[in-house]
């Protein structure tokens, strides 16, 4: 079964990426996690993301496209990256989520991947 591990971190964690005093420990923790999960052979796909201020939000309301730079102000945690993994059970996916650095200060959402729809007969 495939699951997406969605890593969400508060802005205080994102700030560590560029802080000369905190960046080495931040990146070392992620480097260790990424190395371990990739070495396990369960990774289907995954990417880290640029900081939230680089995002552009799109909505359609009343037929009109609305574009806003960055995340919404009331967002407490921001999407930092994800992995799609293939493991035998939800319990195994939860074990991998728990090992993530994001689980210590933020949240790791574990969501099953939707299987492709059956083909429609023509």
Closest CA to 79 of 19, 3, 2, 5: 5
pLDDT at 32: 96
Q: What is the pLDDT of residues 19-35, one digit of tens each?
A: 999 999 999 999 999 99
Is the pTM of the predicted complex or chain greater than 0.95?
A: no
Q: What is the CATH number of the domain that holds 73?
A: 3.30.70.1060
Rounded to the nearest 10°, the torsion over CA 22, 27, 30, 32 is -110
Flag residues of the chain having pLDDT under 70. Answer: 71-75, 120-122
Within a domain: residue 42?
yes
Q: Name the domain count of the chain.
A: 1
Within a domain: residue 117?
no
The domain of 45 spans 2-112
């Amino acid at each position: 079964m495939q699951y997406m591990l969605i890593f969400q971190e508060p802005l205080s964690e994102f700030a560590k990426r560029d802080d000369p005093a905190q960046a080495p420990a931040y990146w070392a923790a992620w480097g260790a996690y990424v190395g371990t999960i990739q070495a396990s052979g369960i990774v289907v796909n995954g990417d880290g993301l640029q900081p939230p201020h680089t995002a552009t939000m799109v909505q359609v309301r009343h037929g009109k496209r609305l574009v806003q730079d960055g995340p919404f102000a009331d967002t407490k945690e921001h999407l930092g990256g994800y992995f799609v993994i293939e493991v035998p059970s939800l319990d195994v996916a939860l074990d991998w989520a728990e090992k993530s650095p994001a689980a210590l200060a933020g949240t790791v959402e574990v969501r099953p991947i939707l299987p492709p729809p059956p083909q429609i007969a023509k």
